[in-house]
Amino acid sequence: MKTPIISYDKSLQSLFDQLLTERAETFLKAGKFSDHVSNCLLAEFKTQIPPIEVVASRMNMTVRTFQRKLTAEGETYRKLSGRLRKDIALKLIHNSDHKMETIAEMLGYSEASAFRRAFKSWN
């Protein structure tokens, strides 16, 4: 909550918060480790995916143990964080009239072109 937002748009921020809350509720119902990691990612998401060290620490384990548990489920931190970012981006695009530049900025992309490249890779 203390992280400053580069450009503030109340309607987009409201939609963003709602999407994060909905996703968190979905992951709380699940019992897999990767779902708990996704929930932690949502809790720590402040326009950027937190580093793996931060999430592992929040879950009270070393990075290596954290990675082993994800691997046991056939997941990686990169895949989970990529899916989360994609899911949030797609929902923001479909549920708002905001420009791609604004959404890219909200998701922590340094430039709209980086967001466009990521978006193309998702399809």
The CATH number of residue 77's host domain is 1.10.10.60
Does residue 54 lie within any of the structural domains?
yes
Domain span holding position 108: 10-122
Per-residue pLDDT at 63: 95
Does residue 87 lie within any of the structural domains?
yes
> Comparing 58 with 21, which gets the higher pLDDT?
58
- Please provide the average confidence, as pLDDT, over all residues in the chain: 80
Q: Which residue shows structure tokens 């909550």?
A: 1
Q: What is the pLDDT of residues 53-106, one digit of tens each?
A: 999 988 888 999 999 999 999 999 999 988 888 888 888 888 878 888 888 887
Given a contact cutoff of 8 angstroms between Cβ atoms, the answer to whether 107 and 115 are in contact is yes
Count the domains in the chain: 1
CA proximity to 28, closest of 17, 20, 36, 18? 36
pTM attached to this predicted model: 0.66
Q: Please report how the helices 33-44 and 10-29 are oriented relative to each other, as an axis angle in degrees rounded to 10.
A: 160
Does residue 24 lie within any of the structural domains?
yes
Does residue 2 lie within any of the structural domains?
no
- The token duo for 112 is 């709209």
Q: How far apart are CA 119 and CA 27, in angstroms?
A: 24
Q: How far apart are CA 81 and CA 55, in angstroms?
A: 11
Does residue 95 lie within any of the structural domains?
yes
Does residue 4 lie within any of the structural domains?
no
